Amino acid sequence: MGAEYDDKERRKGDSRPPSQPPPPPDCAVDDEDVGSAWRSWLSALAADAEAATAAAMAYESLPAEARDAWLDALEVERPLLEVPTVALYAPLLAVELEAPRRGRIQRALAVDPIPRTDGPDQAWALRGVAVDGAHACVLVARLYLEFVQVLTCRYTPGGGFLSVRHEPLRHAGDFPPARDVDGVVVEPTPLRLVVEELAHAILADKRQQRPPHPALASFAHLFGPHLDDEDAALAEP
């Protein structure tokens, strides 16, 4: 994720809003300071992965009435902001389980739909092989706007997974063009090759009666028949 900014750094002149969300203003109270802080933080959700993650965590921690107040405040502020609707609501939808409230969020998103991001053309891969034969890979899949999720694995196709790390939300601009995984240099690689290797590793774990890592479920849409040789041209934009 992006760089962290603590209170001391902001006192030195960092004008960017903090990642931690301020409390949503009471729609019935005309408090310009509270409203300004709220709108400034909402604007950051379009580009700051830490702010988006903080939004999801803060919203998830709230009781039902406070979640409703958050959504009420968004309905008031949304027309006043030059921020894509998906940036305001996607972090909340990711953690909301209550059906009526999910429906409310989905209706808000339907007003400003975005292109689908679950196709193989919306993902890319990097891969390398260590001197001991262990494979390392990084899978990057677009979520919305310029946000991506990242899966980093070490494995052998015939032996299963050695390690799996999942970053559920990062800004694509924070992703470095060159990268290594635990000292193994990884390079742009056709997505199909990496997905096939991971599929073999999953089967190897299954043969050893090891459960699949939960993070793999977030990339399940890539394990399908839609991959073809055109993936050879697929690399990080």
pLDDT at residue 228 tops 90: no
In this predicted structure, the answer to whether residue 234 has a pLDDT above a threshold of 70 is no
Q: Give the closest residue to 114 by CA, choosing from 156, 85, 77.
A: 85
Confidence class of residue 237 from pLDDT cuts 50, 70 and 90?
very low
**pLDDT bucket at 223, cuts 50 / 70 / 90:** confident
Q: Where are the beta strands (DSSP E) in the chain?
A: 123-129, 135-144, 147-156, 160-171, 179-181, 184-189
Sorted by where each begins, the domain ranges of the chain are 7-110, 120-233
Residue 235 has pLDDT above 70, yes or no: no
Report yes or no: 49 and 2 within 8 Å, Cβ to Cβ: yes
Structure confidence at residue 217 as a pLDDT band (50, 70, 90): confident
Give the predicted TM-score (pTM) of the model.
Answer: 0.67
150-207 per-position pLDDT tens digit: 999 999 999 999 999 998 888 888 777 668 899 999 999 999 999 999 999 999 999 9
- Ranges 75-84, 105-114, 122-131, 158-167: which has the least confidence: 105-114
Residue (of 168, 175, 170, 140) closest to 1 by Cα position? 170
What pLDDT score was predicted for residue 118? 54
Q: In which band, very low, low, confident or very high, does the pLDDT at 227 lie, cut at 50, 70 and 90?
A: very low
pLDDT-derived band of residue 208, with 50, 70 and 90 as boundaries? very high
Q: What pLDDT does 221 receive?
A: 84
Q: Residue 18: its pLDDT value, please?
A: 47
Name the amino acid, one letter, at 188.
P
**DSSP annotation of 181:** E
Average pLDDT in the 82-105 region?
90
Q: How far apart are CA 135 and CA 218, in angstroms?
A: 21
pLDDT averaged over the chain?
Answer: 80
